[in-house]
Structure 1
Amino acid sequence: MAEQQQFYILLGNLMSPDNDIRKQSEEAYDTIPGQTKITFLLQAIRDAACAEEVKTMAAVLLRRLLSSSFEEIYPGLTVDMQTAIKTELVTSIQTEASPNIRKKVADIAAELCRNLLDDDGNNQWPELLKFLFDSVNSDNVGLREAVISALLQTMEDQTNPRVQAHAAAALINFTEDCPKSLLIPYLDSLVQHLHVIMVAKLQELIQKGTKLVLEQVVTSIASVADTAEEKFVPYYDLFMPSLKHIVENAVQKELRLLRGKTIECISLIGLAVGKDKFMPDASAVMQLLLKTQTDFNDLEDDDPQISYMISAWARMCKILGKEFQQYLPVVMGPLMKTASIKPEVALLDTQDMENMSEDDGWEFVNLGDQQSFGIKTAGLEEKATACQMLVCYAKELKEGFVEYTEQVVKLMVPLLKFYFHDDILLMGALATSAESMPLLLECARVRGPDYLTQMWHFMCDALIKAIGTEPDSDVLSEIMHSFAKCIELMGEGCLNSEHFEELGGILKGKLEEHFKNQELRQAKRQDEDYDEGMEETLQDEDENDVYILTKVSDILHSVFSSYKEQVLPWFEQLLQLIVQLVCPSRPWADRQWGLCIFDDVVEHCSPSSFKYAELFLRAMALSLCDTSPEVRQAAAYGVGVMAQYGGENYRPFCTEALPTLLGVIQSPDSKVKENVNATENCISAVGKVMRFRPECANVNEILPHWLSWLPLNEDKEEAVHTFDFLCDLIESNNPIVLGPDNANLPKIFQIIAEGVANESVKSEDACSKRLANVIRQVQGSGGLWTQCVAMLNETQQKAIQDLLNTA
C-alpha cells in the first residue's frame, strides 16, 4: 500500500511545473519495471479515492506503455496477468464515474485490442467485442455503427479542427481494418457524412486557408473507397468533381500534401469502381497527372507529391491496362530517377558515429572493434516505392514494357549485392528487386531468345550469389522464389556447370543449416530458462526455417522440370539430406517437403528415378495415412505421378497403394476443411492409377465410387486431371460412367457445371472444349437435354451456358 501511495506522489510530480522535480520524477518512473508499472497504473485508474488529474496521468501513461512498448512488455506477462489487465479495463469502463476517465480507459482498451489483432485480422480479445456489443445503447445499434457514428460526430465538431483531424485519422484506421462485409451496411450514412464534411472543409480552405482536416477527410474517403470497392460506384459522382477541383487548384507550396493525398484518393477510387465507371474521367485525370509530372523536375526532393504521384501512376496502370503504355515516356524518367536514389553509406569509428545523430536520418550497424556501418535513410522510402511501381508496370504491361527492361534490370540487379541493409525500407527494395527478375524476363521475351539470354546472364550470377549470402529470411525467400521462376521461364540450358556447382553447394548448405538449427532449438527446449515466451520464439524460428525449405523445394522443382533426368548426377550431392527429411522421426513439415522433392524426381525424371526408389518408397507408403494432411497430400500426389510417369517398375507400388488411398477417401472426416486438399489428391491419384495403370485396379468396381467423389473444388490442378479422365471415359462411351440408357448424364452435367462454377475448369484448359462438346452432343437430343438441365440449379445452368459460350 505504501508503495502505491509513493507511486501516486510520483504521478503527481510528473505534472509538476518545477522542471527539476518533473525531470527527477521522469527518471524515477523510467526505472520501474514494465510489469510493475502496469500494476500500479491500473490500481491508480480504479482507485476511487485517487485525484482525477492523477488518474488521468495514469491512464495516459498506461496507453502510451501499451502503444510504444507492447512487444517488449505484454508477451512476457503471465497469462493470469494478461487476463487481469483485460478484466480491470472492462470493469473500469463499466464502473468509472468520470466521463473523462472512462473515455481514456476506453482508449487504453482500444490500444490493447489493436495490438491483439494478429496478422490475419483475428481478434485475440473476443471478450472485449462481446462486452462492447452487449453495452451498446437501447436501440441495439451494432458496435461498428456506434463507432462510426461517434467518429463522424467528432469530425463534425467545427470548434476543434485538431480533434476533427484526429477523428478522421481514427476513421481511416477503422475502415482500413474493417472487413468489407461489415462496412457495407453503414456505407451510405458514412459517405453522406464525409461528403458534407468535405464540402464544408473545402469552403474553409478557400476562405481561411486551413487544410489539416481536409487532408485527413480526403484520405478517409480514399480508405472507404478502397475497402468498399465496387460498392462505392453509386457515390463516385458525389466526390470526383470536388477531388479534381482540388488537384487543379491546390497548386501553392503549402498545399502540396493535400494535393498529393487527393491524387492518391482519385486513383484509389478509380481502382475501386473499375475501368467502366472511371473511364469518362480517366482522360481528364491523366491530363492532371501529366501536368504535375511535366513539372516534376521543378519539384523539390522532399516534395510529398512525389511518392503519391508514383503510386497513383501505378494504380492508373492497373485501371487502364495496355492503354497505359502510351504514358510510359512521361512516367518513366522521374520514376527511374527516384528508384535510382543511392543510399549514402559510411564506415565510422565510435567518435564519428557520436557526431552523427539518428535524427539526421542515419542508422547504424555495429561491426565490432569500435566500428559501425552507417546508412542514411533519407529517400529510401521513395526508392522502395518506386521499385515496387516498376514491378507493377512490368507485371501489368508485359511486352508493352520491353523498351525499359534493360535500364530497369541494370537498376535492380546491383541492389541484390547490397549486403548491409538492416533498414527495413532497403530490405523492401531488395525483395522487390528479386521479385522483378522473372517479370522483366517475361517482358523481354518479345525481343527474341538472344536478347532474353543476354538479360538472364546479367541476372543469374547475382541471384545465385544473393541466395548464398542474404542474411534476412524474408528477403532470401523472395530471391529464391524469383530464381526458381526464372529457371522455369528460361528452361533447359539456362545454367552452366559453374552455376550448378555453386548452386549445389548453396542448397546443400541450406539443408545442413536447417537440420543444425532444429537441433539447436531442441537443445534450448531442455534449458532451465525455457518457458512459454522462449517456445514462441523457437516456433517463429522454426517457421522461418521451414519457409526457406519450401524455397529449396521450389528451386529443385524448377531445375527438375527444366533439365529432367540429366540433372540427377548433380542432385545426388543432396540426396542423403532429402532422404533425412522423409524419416518418420522428422517434423511433419520436413516430411511434407522431402516427399514433394521426391515427387518432382519421379514426375520429371522417370523412369530413371526408380534407382532411388528404395530410399523413399517406404516413407511414401507410410505417409499415405499420416496424421498430417499436408504429408498425406504430398504422398498421394506421389502415387499419382508414379502411375502417370513412373513406368513399369512402379506398378507394384501403385497396386499396393490403392486400398490405402480408398480408405483415406472413405474415412468419415475426409471432407472436413483441414483434410479436403489431401483427400482430393487421393481422389486424383486413384483416377490416375485407373487411367494410366488400369492393370493395378479393379476399374469397373472403383469407377462408380470415383464418379460420386467428383468434382474436386479445392485443388484446381488436380481437378483438371480428373476432368481429363472423365472426358476419356465419356468419349469412349464407358457403360459404367454413362449408365444404362445414359441414365448418369444428369449427374455428369452436375459435375461439369459445379466444376465450371467453382473455376475448377477454366476456358483455357484443354479439357473445357471436350466438356463443351459433351454438352453440345446432349443438346441435340431433345428430352435428354431437358432432363439434364432440369437437375441443375440456377448457378449451375449459368455455368453450363458460360462453358458453351467460351469453350
Structure 2
Amino acid sequence: MAAAAAEQQQFYLLLGNLLSPDNVVRKQAEETYENIPGQSKITFLLQAIRNTTAAEEARQMAAVLLRRLLSSAFDEVYPTLPSDVQTAIKSELLMIIQMETQSSMRKKVCDIAAELARNLIDEDGNNQWPEGLKFLFDSVTCNAVGQMATDFAPGFQKKFHEKVIAALLQTMEDQGNQRVQAHAAAALINFTEDCPKSLLIPYLDNLVKHLHSIMVLKLQELIQKGTKLVLEQVVTSIASVADTAEEKFVPYYDLFMPSLKHIVENAVQKELRLLRGKTIECISLIGLAVGKEKFMQDASDVMQLLLKTQTDFNDMEDDDPQISYMISAWARMCKILGKEFQQYLPVVMGPLMKTASIKPEVALLDTQDMENMSDDDGWEFVNLGDQQSFGIKTAGLEEKSTACQMLVCYAKELKEGFVEYTEQVVKLMVPLLKFYFHDDILQPLNTKLAAAESMPLLLECARVRGPEYLTQMWHFMCDALIKAIGTEPDSDVLSEIMHSFAKCIEVMGDGCLNNEHFEELGGILKAKLEEHFKNQELRQVKRQDEDYDEQVEESLQDEDDNDVYILTKVSDILHSIFSSYKEKVLPWFEQLLPLIVNLICPHRPWPDRQWGLCIFDDVIEHCSPASFKYAEYFLRPMLQYVCDNSPEVRQAAAYGLGVMAQYGGDNYRPFCTEALPLLVRVIQSADSKTKENVNATENCISAVGKIMKFKPDCVNVEEVLPHWLSWLPLHEDKEEAVQTFNYLCDLIESNHPIVLGPNNTNLPKIFSIIAEGEMHEAIKHEDPCAKRLANVVRQVQTSGGLWTECIAQLSPEQQAAIQELLNSA
C-alpha cells in the first residue's frame, strides 16, 4: 500500500516537471512519462484527477494527458486492459463528473468521457458503453453531447435523436442557469447541423415551439437586464434548424422573422455586435431555406437593413464580428435573389474587396523579440533555426478567406452581371495561387481554393465583353495556373487548381495555349505521372516493413486516395486539351504515351487502369481516325477489360468501345465485330443491374447501340435489336441515356419493322420504355431528345385505337409520366 502511495507521489512530481519552464527538466519528464506502461499511466492519471487535494495545475495536466492518451493511443492501450480494469475506468470517470465541483475541471473530465465513448462506438454506430451515454444524457453534459454529435455524424443522430433532442430542449428551459442553457443551445446546433433532414422533420413542431418561446423570453431579458449569451446561441440554433429543414420551415417563417428583423434594427450597441451578426446570418439562412417565393415579402426590408449596416461599415473596427456575418449574408441574398441582386453590387463590392485584399503583417524576429510578442494577440510563429522566427499576424485572414469565397459565389450566380468587377477580382485572385514558404498560415486553405475555383467562373463572366477582353484575362491567369500546378504541395489545393485549369481550357478552346505553355505543362504532367508510380512503389516497400500494421495501412490508403485523385485531374486536363485541340495535339501527347500505357498494364491497381483507359477514350473520341496509330497500345487491353472484375474498369473500357464505333474510322471495323459478344456477356450476367455494376452495364448497352447505329455492317443488326430493346431504358448514366433514346427515335422515325413489330405490336413496350425514362429523369426536358420522344407519343395519339391500347398497358405512374412528358416537351 505504502509502495503504491509512493509511486503516486512520484507521479505528482512528474506532472509538476512536465509543466516546468526549464527545458531540460521538462524533456527528462517527458521521456520518463513515455516509458510508463499504458495501464499504469491510466491508473496514475485517474488518481491524480480524482485527488481534489492535489495542485490544480497537476490535476488539469493529468486530465489533458488522459484525453490525449485515449485519442492518440486508444487502440494500443485500452483493448489490452483486463475487462475489470476497463469497467473500473468507466465508472470512475462518471463518478468524478458527478463529484467534481470546479467547472473547468468538470468540462475536462466530460471531454475524457466523450473521447472514451467516441472510441467505444464501432463503425456501424454500435455503442459499447450504454451506461456512459445514458449518464451523459441524464445529466446532459452538453459539451460532450455536442462533441459526439459532430464526431459521429450522422450515425449518432440516427441512433439517439429521440433522447438527445428531448434532453437538450429540457435543459434549454433551465431558466436558472444561463451558461447551461447556452451550452444546450450550442449542442443543439451541432446536432442539427449534421442531422439528416428526414430525422429532424418529426421534431420540427416541438423544436420550433421551444426555440420560439426561449427566444421571446431572452429578448425580454436582453431589454430588461442586458443579458445576451443565450439569445446569441438560440438565434444560431434557429438558423441551423431552418438550414436542415429547408422548405419544411416555411410554416414557421412568420413566427420568427418579425423578431429577428427587430433585433437587427435595434441591437446597435457595441456589446451587441455579435448578436446582431448572428441574427443577420440567421435571417439569410432562413431565406435560403424557405426560398425566394416566401422570402420576397421581407426581402426588400432585409436588404435595407443590410444596406444600412453596410453604410456604417467604414466606421466598423477591423475586428468587428459583424463583418464576416455580413459578407456571408450578402452571398446568400445573392443566391436567393439571383439576377435581381445585381443592383446591390455597387454597395456590396467595396467592403468585400477591402476584406478580400487584407494582407497579413509579417516580421522576421530573433527569439528574444518573439518572446516579448508572444502574448500579443493573433501572431503565429514559425521557427527558422539560428534563433530566428518568422512571425505572421493572422488577424483578418479568416475574414479574407470568407470574402474570397463570396466573390466566387457572385461570379457563379450572376455570370455576365458580374462583368464590371472581373478585372479587379482577377487581379486579386491570381497572386493568391502562388505558393509561399509558410503558406499554411500565410493563406488559409480556403483562400487558395477560392482563388483556384474563381478562374473559370471569371472567364465565363468576361465572355460578354468579347474575345479580346476574354483573351487578355486568360493570358493574365494562364502562366500562374500552370506554375501553381507544378509547385503547389497541398493535394486538396492542387487538385482544385488542376480542375480549374481544365475548365478554363474548355471555356477558351482551341489555340488558348502557346508552345511554351505546352512545353511547361508537358513536363509537369510527366513529373506528376512519374511521381504517381514512384509513390506506389514506396508504399509497397512500407507494406513489407516490420512496423507495418493496420494503422500504417490506413495512412497508406489515404496517400493512395490522394494520389488517385491527382491522377483524375491529370485526366481532366488531358480531356479538355483533346476536346479543344483534337488530333493536332497528338505529337505533344507522345511524351506522355509510355506513362499512360503503363497505367493500363494488367498488374496495376484498378484506379490506374480506369483512368488510363479514360485518357485513351478521349484519344479515340477526339482524335479519330488519327487515333488508330496508337491502337496497338490500347485496343487489346480495352477489349480485355470489358470483362474486368472492377466495374469502374469495365465502364471505362465499354465507353471506349462505344466511341470507337461512333468516331473511329474504317480501321476499327473488325474490332467492333469482336467487341459485340464481350459487351453482351457483361449485360447478360446475373448481377449486371446491381448498384455497383449498373453504370458499367449501361455503358455496355449504349456501346451496343452505337455499334448498330454507326457500324451497322459490322454486326447482324436484325438479330441484336430485339435484345437491345429488352435492355432499355438506361436511367443511371444520363449521358448514355440520351444517346440510346436518340437512336431509339431514329429507329422509330424510320419505321424500323423490328422495333415497331408486326402491326405496331411493340408500341406499348416502347411507351413503357419512354415512361420509365421520364420517371427516372433520364432526359432533361430542355434536351432536343425529349421533344423527339414527345413527338413519337403525339403521333400515336392521333390514331385513337392504338393510343388506347398503348396507354391501357401502362401502370398509373407510367401514364402520369407520359402526360408529364407531353406537357413539358
1:583 corresponds in structure 2 to 601
**Residue of 348, 366, 383 corresponding to 1:331:** 348
State the Cα deviation string for residues 182-237 of structure 1 (Å, max 9, x = none): 11111111111111111111100000000001000001111111111111111111
1:698 corresponds in structure 2 to 716
**Residue of 805, 818, 825 corresponding to 1:787:** 805
1:362 corresponds in structure 2 to 379
2:625 corresponds in structure 1 to 607
Is the 1:113–1:123 Cα contact (8 Å) retained in structure 2? no
Is the 1:133–1:143 Cα contact (8 Å) retained in structure 2? no
- How many angstroms apart in 2 are the aligned matches of 1:425 and 1:165? 33
1:660 corresponds in structure 2 to 678
2:726 corresponds in structure 1 to 708
**Residue of 639, 650, 654 corresponding to 1:632:** 650
What's the secondary structure of 1:126's corresponding residue?
coil
Q: Once the 2 structures are TM-superposed, how far is the Cα of residue 352 of structure 1 from its aligned partner?
A: 4.9
- How many angstroms apart in 2 are the aligned matches of 1:393 and 1:94? 51
Alignment of 1:326-405 (within 5 A): 326-348=343-365, 350=367, 352-357=369-374, 360-367=377-384, 372-405=389-422
Of 481-490 and 360-369, deviating more is 360-369
2:143 corresponds in structure 1 to none
User: Is the alpha carbon distance of 1:220 and 1:95 closer, same or farther for their aligned partners in structure 2, counting shifts above 3 Å?
Assistant: closer
AA paired with 1:317? C
User: Is the alpha carbon distance of 1:578 and 1:14 closer, same or farther for their aligned partners in structure 2, counting shifts above 3 Å?
Assistant: closer
Is the 2:168–2:184 Cα contact (8 Å) retained in structure 1? yes
Is the 1:341–1:383 Cα contact (8 Å) retained in structure 2? yes
Q: Once the 2 structures are TM-superposed, how far is the Cα of residue 111 of structure 1 from its aligned partner?
A: 4.0
1:212 corresponds in structure 2 to 229
State the Cα deviation string for residues 373-431 of structure 1 (Å, max 9, x = none): 43321111000000000000000011111111111001101111242312285221111
State the Cα deviation string for residues 632-653 of structure 1 (Å, max 9, x = none): 1111111011000011111111
User: Is the alpha carbon distance of 1:12 and 1:694 closer, same or farther for their aligned partners in structure 2, counting shifts above 3 Å?
Assistant: same
User: Is the alpha carbon distance of 1:733 and 1:80 closer, same or farther for their aligned partners in structure 2, counting shifts above 3 Å?
Assistant: farther
User: Is the alpha carbon distance of 1:370 and 1:70 closer, same or farther for their aligned partners in structure 2, counting shifts above 3 Å?
Assistant: farther
Alignment of 1:64-75 (within 5 A): 72-74=72-74
**Residue of 286, 290, 299 corresponding to 2:307:** 290
Alignment of 1:467-616 (within 5 A): 467-616=485-634
What's the secondary structure of 1:423's corresponding residue?
helix
AA paired with 2:220? Q
User: Is the alpha carbon distance of 1:32 and 1:271 closer, same or farther for their aligned partners in structure 2, counting shifts above 3 Å?
Assistant: farther
Equivalent residues, number: 794
What's the secondary structure of 1:157's corresponding residue?
coil
State the Cα deviation string for residues 5-64 of structure 1 (Å, max 9, x = none): 667668999999xx99xxxx99999767589797458668999xx88999x999988975
Q: How much identity, in percent, do the aligned residues show?
A: 75
2:217 corresponds in structure 1 to 200
What's the secondary structure of 1:724's corresponding residue?
helix
Is the 1:38–1:62 Cα contact (8 Å) retained in structure 2? no
- Structure 2 stretches of 5 or more lacking a match? 101-105, 139-157
State the Cα deviation string for residues 661-686 of structure 1 (Å, max 9, x = none): 11111111111111111111111111
Q: Once the 2 structures are TM-superposed, how far is the Cα of residue 171 of structure 1 from its aligned partner?
A: 0.8
What's the secondary structure of 1:360's corresponding residue?
coil
Q: Is 1:734 aligned to 2:733, yes or no?
A: no
User: Is the alpha carbon distance of 1:550 and 1:95 closer, same or farther for their aligned partners in structure 2, counting shifts above 3 Å?
Assistant: closer
State the Cα deviation string for residues 347-368 of structure 1 (Å, max 9, x = none): 4555554554286323344556
**Residue of 424, 429, 446 corresponding to 2:447:** 429
What's the secondary structure of 1:529's corresponding residue?
coil
Alignment of 1:215-234 (within 5 A): 215-234=232-251
AA paired with 2:190? N
AA paired with 2:416? E
AA paired with 2:254? D
User: Is the alpha carbon distance of 1:85 and 1:364 closer, same or farther for their aligned partners in structure 2, counting shifts above 3 Å?
Assistant: farther
User: Is the alpha carbon distance of 1:424 and 1:347 closer, same or farther for their aligned partners in structure 2, counting shifts above 3 Å?
Assistant: closer
User: Is the alpha carbon distance of 1:57 and 1:658 closer, same or farther for their aligned partners in structure 2, counting shifts above 3 Å?
Assistant: farther
- How many angstroms apart in 2 are the aligned matches of 1:86 and 1:186? 40
User: Is the alpha carbon distance of 1:255 and 1:437 closer, same or farther for their aligned partners in structure 2, counting shifts above 3 Å?
Assistant: same
AA paired with 1:628? S
- How many angstroms apart in 2 are the aligned matches of 1:45 and 1:588? 48
For normalisation by structure 2, the TM-score amounts to 0.88
Q: Once the 2 structures are TM-superposed, how far is the Cα of residue 475 of structure 1 from its aligned partner?
A: 0.6
Aligned-CA RMSD value: 3.6
1:641 corresponds in structure 2 to 659
Is the 2:15–2:58 Cα contact (8 Å) retained in structure 1? no
AA paired with 1:712? L
AA paired with 2:200? L
AA paired with 1:578? I
- How many angstroms apart in 1 are the aligned matches of 2:725 and 2:77? 54
Alignment of 1:699-778 (within 5 A): 699-778=717-796
Alignment of 1:123-202 (within 5 A): 123=123, 125-128=125-128, 143-202=160-219
1:410 corresponds in structure 2 to 427
Is the 2:334–2:413 Cα contact (8 Å) retained in structure 1? yes
- How many angstroms apart in 2 are the aligned matches of 1:207 and 1:489? 59
Is the 1:133–1:142 Cα contact (8 Å) retained in structure 2? no
- How many angstroms apart in 1 are the aligned matches of 2:408 and 2:526? 31
- How many angstroms apart in 2 are the aligned matches of 1:755 and 1:559? 33
User: Is the alpha carbon distance of 1:320 and 1:285 closer, same or farther for their aligned partners in structure 2, counting shifts above 3 Å?
Assistant: same
AA paired with 2:357? S
Q: Is 1:238 aligned to 2:237, yes or no?
A: no
For normalisation by structure 1, the TM-score amounts to 0.90
Is the 1:175–1:227 Cα contact (8 Å) retained in structure 2? yes
1:267 corresponds in structure 2 to 284
Q: Once the 2 structures are TM-superposed, how far is the Cα of residue 712 of structure 1 from its aligned partner?
A: 1.5
Q: Once the 2 structures are TM-superposed, how far is the Cα of residue 150 of structure 1 from its aligned partner?
A: 0.9
Q: Once the 2 structures are TM-superposed, how far is the Cα of residue 718 of structure 1 from its aligned partner?
A: 1.1
Q: Once the 2 structures are TM-superposed, how far is the Cα of residue 154 of structure 1 from its aligned partner?
A: 1.2
What's the secondary structure of 2:578's corresponding residue?
helix
Q: Once the 2 structures are TM-superposed, how far is the Cα of residue 466 of structure 1 from its aligned partner?
A: 0.7
- How many angstroms apart in 1 are the aligned matches of 2:582 and 2:659? 14
Is the 2:38–2:77 Cα contact (8 Å) retained in structure 1? no
User: Is the alpha carbon distance of 1:14 and 1:324 closer, same or farther for their aligned partners in structure 2, counting shifts above 3 Å?
Assistant: farther
User: Is the alpha carbon distance of 1:12 and 1:152 closer, same or farther for their aligned partners in structure 2, counting shifts above 3 Å?
Assistant: farther
- How many angstroms apart in 1 are the aligned matches of 2:310 and 2:271? 18
AA paired with 1:593? W
Q: Is 1:688 aligned to 2:706, yes or no?
A: yes
What's the secondary structure of 2:635's corresponding residue?
helix
- How many angstroms apart in 2 are the aligned matches of 1:507 and 1:307? 38
- Structure 1 stretches of 5 or more lacking a match? none
State the Cα deviation string for residues 467-497 of structure 1 (Å, max 9, x = none): 1111111111100000000000100011111
AA paired with 2:239? A
AA paired with 1:688? K
- How many angstroms apart in 2 are the aligned matches of 1:451 and 1:463? 19
- How many angstroms apart in 1 are the aligned matches of 2:708 and 2:794? 27
Is the 1:42–1:88 Cα contact (8 Å) retained in structure 2? no
- How many angstroms apart in 1 are the aligned matches of 2:718 and 2:282? 62
What's the secondary structure of 1:422's corresponding residue?
helix
Is the 1:720–1:760 Cα contact (8 Å) retained in structure 2? yes
AA paired with 1:327? Y
AA paired with 1:544? N
- How many angstroms apart in 1 are the aligned matches of 2:589 and 2:247? 50
Q: Once the 2 structures are TM-superposed, how far is the Cα of residue 729 of structure 1 from its aligned partner?
A: 1.3
1:464 corresponds in structure 2 to 482
